[in-house]
Chain A
Amino acid sequence: MKNIIKKTTAVLASAMLIIGSSVNVFAEEAQETEDKKESIILPSGLELKEALRNIEDEMEEKCSESLENTHLGGATLAIFRGDEVIYTGHYGYTDYENGIPTDDESVFEWGSISKTLIWVSAMQLVEQGKLDLERDVREYLPEGFFQKLSYDDPITMLNIMNHNAGWCETTRSIWIEDGDTIPPLKDALQSIEPAQVTRPGERVAYSNYGAAVAGYVIECVSGMDYGEYVRKNIFEPLGMEHTSISPDHSDNSRVCEQRKKMHSYEIGVNNVDMGSRLFYVGAYPAGSATGTVSDLVTYTQALMNDDAPLFKNKETQQELFSATDFYGDSDIPVNCHGFFCNEHKVRTLFHTGGTVFGQADMEFDPESKFGIVIMHNEGLGSSWLMNFAPTYVFGELASDTYGEPVGKADYSGKYFLISRSQYKGMLKYIPVLGAIQFDEPFDELDGNVLQLTGISLLNEGADSALILGRRTLSDGSVLLESASADVTWDKFYLPKLLLLTAYLLSAVAGTYMLRIRLKLFRTHRDTKLAGSALMSISQWARLVSALTLLTSFIVYYKYTGGIPIMCMTVFGILQMICGGICGVSAAGSAVTLVVGKDKTTLYKVIAALNIAANLLCAGAIVFYELYKFWGC
């Protein structure tokens, strides 16, 4: 008996010793692994722990437990190397009111990162011999699909991937608020078709419409619904079970459920909880993917994987990441089949995304296999994480990387308009309101590359650079292109702005003339001192026209870049009527001036001013296409 007890005790003691030491060993191993991870050197040259310290310090300052005090809605950040995720950070909340923090289960909207699914799908079809990137996409689309092309030049998939097919932004809102009214992809595209304002291949202007058309090409070529194609050929092979592609998330019940729980926030002057509202994208291939950060990481890792799990041949993936557009005349790539290139200390491929309810960034270096994914539940805006976290991982471009400057390019005093804007249709005034000026000269490098140098974020005393490409267009204007935005010098900017200002002033002047007329009426004086009845009607018309324009701006702002069809129709018809009245009034005053007898000097002055004001108003309505209620 004693022996049994002794043996049992010995066994138990040994077991405890083994387990205890195993736990210690595991704990030590885990600590060692953690230490090894933290001392991983990132492409920026920083150790991971140093980079994380900077990021986490900033996040601690920005995050608060109360919505009123926070400078961050909710965000998730993941850093990975190859197949290994070396850091995941969750910040803020997906629901401040109920105190639900962001975590691995949170789903975020990919926004335009969804476009990379189109480019990957396109390359898969190229691999199968079903799609040629250099053929006119009209050969793949139904007859008469495009109704507003201005050039006969072919539009290829490469043009669409490079965003230089020539389309401007659409005037119609791409967002739909009622999930029951989401049209099929073809109908959605045809309802928002914008005008083609430049020849294909000439000017880069980021286009949601173009990308969505490419998604429809995938549908036509594959014979499958685009969403179904992506699920079968990208999500399922990679095991991305927590990502949806349908605009209403109906293809993934888990994502649908989680998305309804996620609140999104507007962080600014007053922080606003936008609740778990949804806006649906009719042209959904351009930006409807929604999912967890781990799924986006999986997708990005697959893109970096030399085994090219998304393709049959590794060469296809290599071709996907080969350059299709360059800065200026140089060999520095800016676009690789739809993936943008970023110049850090290393060259990365990236795509960002932004919707009304979220922002996201996916960036990776195929050489070093490092990657970063950031997802927010804040709507369109400026995110510290998206602006600076990739810099801590990938470093900064040194100013001497592409050689010494060969000169200076000074564009001070010139106004540049953003290429990605409405250049046709009733929102044609929008780019005029957003002109950019460059007060500092650029350094000129070889190959029509310009460089701006600034202070380094990472190394005190060092500098960091940003490069742009320069192209001279067929009309003599200058295009400056970067990975994030392209701007074109507008020689006629000031006259356009003056016309817009004069139009608004003519409305203000008309309002005051109406007040004077009212005053004369109330004091029983001759109201003809303020002009004729027709002049008075035209003054009302100018006021209504200006108020309609201001209302259209508010609606455009509210609907994040477009106007609903009903509003557009009302605005357009009102502007047509106002323009007509102004024209008639100007003509009437001109006739009176020429033919009228015994008119006093005061009347002649008022008539002349009336002609000028009405012509300015009518001219602005015509020039800015304020009457175009049928779109671009």
Chain B
Amino acid sequence: MEKILLVIRSDLITMKGKGVGKIWIYAVLLIVIIAMGFFVSSFVGVYGPLFSSFIVPQLLFSNEAKYKSEKMYCIAPVERRDIVNARFLLTTAIIAVLTIATYLLMLIAIKLDIPSKYSDNVDVLDGLIKQLHLSLTKKQLFDLLYSVVSVINISMGANMLRNYFKDPALLSGKITTGKKLAKRDVIGLTVTVIMALFVLAGVVGLLPFGKAFVVLFQVIAQLAEAANGKLLILLMLFLTGFETAYQYFCARVEYADKEL
């Protein structure tokens, strides 16, 4: 535990410096989303945790990646597993705290329901309940959507951290330049093009997406109503745990094999 705390302290020190500006950008973005959650619709608050999975790993490790100081741990009296344990603990803890804090603030927003006091517009969540003929309350639907986004968020954060351990350059999300693209870039580009064509075909009407999406959405809505949404929320929470644990396991294995 001592070594884990040592690594965490070290990472926090490394984080300070030229990257501090990014913290403010993220803070402002989060404040804007939370404010919109209070004054426009609590549905906006669902997006609150979505950015933290991109931003938190960047904030924590961009300086180390930039100055290539990860090799410093070769001479430090810590084992690789301690580094992985520490960073996963730090990253997921920060993302989880931000997620929970945003959630609690949005609960207050739902309770206050400020938009209804000055606008006749139907809230997005109420509109969804009506359109999908759900028997969930506004709060229950919010809980459900928030838990789905949180799964995506925390899983993505864990995945980004795993990618960082594989190759710090991946943190910046850059693709390789030059005459020869790396294999992963080729795969990534191909998948992106195929998905784009798929979506375009659906939009244009070549593929009958509309009906399929409506059916899928309504099926999920039916599942969402079981125990007032608690079934799906429980599944989402476990999914978050499993996915994070898997990414952690992969990071442990890959970092152990990595040549520094």
Contact = CB atoms under 8 A, between A and B. Distances in A.
Interface in B234-260: 234-235, 238-239, 242-243, 245-246, 249-250, 253-254, 257
Interface stretch (A168-176, A211-219, A368-376, A552-560): A552-560
A519 B253 contact: yes
Q: Per DSSP, are chain B's interface residues mostly helix, strand or loop, or mixed?
A: helix
Interface stretch (B59-67, B68-76, B165-173, B221-229): B221-229
Contacts of A432: 226
A494 B93 CA distance: 31
Contacts of B132: 268-269
Contact of A270 (B214, B225, B235, B238): B214
A516 interface: yes
Interface string B180-207: 0000000000000000000000000000
Contacts of B133: 268, 381-382
A435 B245 contact: no
Contact of A501 (B235, B245, B253): B235
A500 interface: yes
A509 B242 contact: yes
Contacts of B239: 508
A412 interface: no
B211 interface: yes
Contacts, number: 74
A420 B220 CA distance: 22
Given A382-B133, A525-B253, A437 B228 contact: yes
Given A272-B214, A508-B238, A523-B257, A516 B225 contact: no
B25 to A, nearest CB: 35
B246 to A, nearest CB: 5
Contact of A269 (B214, B222, B242, B254): B214
Interface residues of B, number: 33
A239 interface: no
Interface in A515-532: 515-516, 519-520, 523, 525
Contacts of A434: 222, 225-226
Interface string A270-304: 10100000000000000000000000000000000
B219 A435 contact: no
A319 to B, nearest CB: 39
Q: What band does the interface of chain A fall in when counting residues whose beta carbon is under 8 Å from B?
A: 20 to 34
A234 B216 CA distance: 43
Contact of B217 (A269, A508, A512, A523): A269
B122 interface: no
A426 interface: no
A497 B131 contact: no
A497 B227 contact: yes
A553 B210 CA distance: 20
B218 interface: yes
Contact of A512 (B226, B228, B235, B245): B245
A433 B210 contact: no
A82 B245 CA distance: 72
A133 interface: no
A497 B230 CA distance: 10
B104 interface: no
Contact of A508 (B216, B226, B242, B249): B242
Nearest to B127: A269
A-B pairs, 3 with minimum CB distance: A433-B226, A269-B131, A512-B242
Interface of A: 266, 268-270, 272, 381-382, 415, 432-437, 497, 500-501, 504-505, 508-509, 512, 515-516, 519-520, 523, 525, 553-554, 557-558
5 contacts: A268-B214, A268-B218, A505-B235, A520-B253, A553-B223
